Structure 1
Amino acid sequence: MDDISTGTLFIVLFVLILLSAYFSSSETGMMSINRYRLKHLQNEGNRAANRVQKLLDRPDRLIGLILIGNNLVNIAASSIATIIGMRLYGDVGIAIATFSLTMVVLVFAEVTPKTLAALYPEKIAFPSSFILLPLLTVLYPFVYFVNGITNGILALLRINPIGSGDDALSREELRTVVYEAGSMIPKKHQDMLVSILDLENVTAEDIMVPRADIVAIDINDEWKVIQKQLTLAQHTRVLLYRDSIDDAVGFVHLRDALRLLAKDQFTKSSLLRAVREIYFTPESTPLHTLMYRFQIEKERIALVVDEYGDIQGLVTLEDILEEIIGDFTTSMVPDHSKEVHIQQDGSVLVDGSANIRDLNKEMDWKLPIEGPKTLNGLILEYLEEIPEHKVSVRLAGYPIEIVDISENMIKTVRILPEYYLPAHDISQE
């Protein structure tokens, strides 16, 4: 070593610091790379992505290789820096070399390259794979020996060094990924994707047309009344029943009725022969399951029944699609539904029978949806009694004034701007 000039030692030290920076940036770049983008590039046949994935398949070997290389060059750099320091400053040079090399390594071989690699992992990891993969082959016996020791220690701690390899995202994580996509995915598309993720949490009961609102025809009515109802029907499929909706006969498609009319065979008996079988579904059926069943059974409409088999409502394929993409056919009012009335003072009059989920979507509110389905039910559950006179409550942060009560139901409520009511929970007038 005495035969080597000080200038040459400085050059060697500079090269060793560059190698240390390379190993440090490679480690951070490899570990920071987006695994899902990496798989996407693999599927497109990107060779660099294939090399990186091959290295990441065994992270213990990759980390072992990088740390072996990094420690070798750092120790070598420390030795050379010590020799240079002693040549220039004598015994004091050892302390000077230690402090100086620590600062140089920290700034130029650790923090700077690792920060750069964290910001641009692909630009670091892909070129680095050209060197690391062959280097792993050359140093494999040494890497295998070191990994054998470290893996044995991890095994004692009951840790699998290879890992499960499971990079699957949960529903909540995927929701975060969709929203974090920002401008890469339009807001409307983000909402649609999240709505698809939420289908499992929404049941037929949540979106069904309530029993009282089902458009149906009593087949026992006068024929002229039935003809008029079919003529004025706003839906392509109409439910037929006898006396009570619980005695449902089936659905008739207006196209079939028109065909009978064209053949001059439009009678009550022929109409009954044209009805289609009813498809029933429990009210607790998740929407993603119901949509799958619609697809398998070639159905577009179903009657929703409770645990006792009583009809509670009606749900259609269009209702499920609207849950995903929003209203597109059935909403005829451009601004607000008939259950919501915006007042000049900024308050909102809402029918007590309004569906909470629909209100949250329409008004961008966050009323709780885990319990009752209607605003009336939500307020009654909160009060734990049927109020005998007007009551003002603050429910989920929303100041609500009960305006009209009749037939043991809250018919109308006024939801006020924040400044209308004090901050206490309940105030009775």
Structure 2
Amino acid sequence: MDDPSGSSLLFFITGSLILSMFCKLAKYVYNNFSYTKLDELLETEKAKDKIQKYMTKGSDLLIATSFFAVLSKVVFVASVVLLFSKNAQVKNVHIMYSVPISFLPLLFTDIVALYLAHRYSERIITSALPIMSVLYWLGIIFVWPLSKFIQFLDTIFIARARASSAVFERAILDVVSKGEEEGIFQKSEKNMIEAIIDLREVETKEIMTPRTDMVCASMKDSVSNVLLVANEAGYSRIPIFKENRDHIVGILYIKDLLNYWAEKDGDKLVIADLMRKAYFIPETKPINKLLKEFQEQKLHIAIVLDEYGGTAGIVTVEDILEEIVGEIVDEHDRETYEEIKFIDENSVELDARVHVEEINEQFALNIPVDEGYDTIGGFIFSQMGRVPLQGETYQFEGKEFRVLQAGERRIDRILMVDCNSIKQSS
């Protein structure tokens, strides 16, 4: 095979240098761009959806970009060495000069890439992501097994990190408990620290407002009707659905409505023109990750979807904060009831939405979990096979569950009584 000509070597040198600079630039902007600034820069929802589509396979794009970054540097250095070897007067020492010299252009392009990425990350990322996707498909034969190997390593290191994290968390809790005993921490402070540590263990479905309790409005409703709904409920953000609650299409911010109210006749305003895009999440998302997403994207509310894509409920920043600091009551909140209210030593009043795991833990019961229900109300409903009437009872492991309040389609309040105390009193 013939030696490559000087012109072909110059082509490889130039091409690999440009590719190396792009890969450095792309990796840096991907890891450092601001979602908030990018959202302000993109004008259409179509453009935002396109970027979001690329971001869903971001780890694979980064692996592909890193692969081509290494490959381009190898090609560049090899091409420079070959070019020197073809033209060097002293064949035995050309490598001594060519290798160090080849790193100078690479260093220069890296510095330029870092400067551009630092100044224009959000503008560059919109163009870089499609090219990164092309690189992924060009190198998929190498990138795919590399990606799987990295995922395998991740599972090993994540497992170890979780183990060490668990030890660290236990140490913190021990210190806090000791601090409470010595009067350094108050009980409320201890509870708050424990709640923060437990955030990653709590899924969105455990704190969301269920679909049946959601306050929504239809796209077909007039602005006046939506205002009445918002005023009656005391909410500043109302989910908007198209046909039914399984088809939420946006969120109407009342402040947006008021901004246009003075400019146009209120009755002429169209809900579809005023609502914002809804943010959808799965019901299994840990709330610590959800809180971070709320902070990054400056959101206050999200629509929770079940595994079939239907609306499971709604969750807000306030719901997450209440998981940390306890119930937050404002002037718009309706009368609230304690989820678990001890009547006496033998009877407890329960909110039907209390989770089965909490009941099992607090009262040493063994109610089955993962049986198609999450709450104590769901458990009783599944055991009786219908919505029980007020006053009906169900017994389980020495406890009698008496329905205190129930509607046509669900249970609201339950009284749990120790069966032994019932026998003694009779």
When normalised by structure 2's length, the TM-score is 0.49
More helix by share: 2
When normalised by structure 1's length, the TM-score is 0.49
Task: Work out which of the two has the higher radius of gyration on C-alpha atoms and give 1 or 2.
Answer: 1
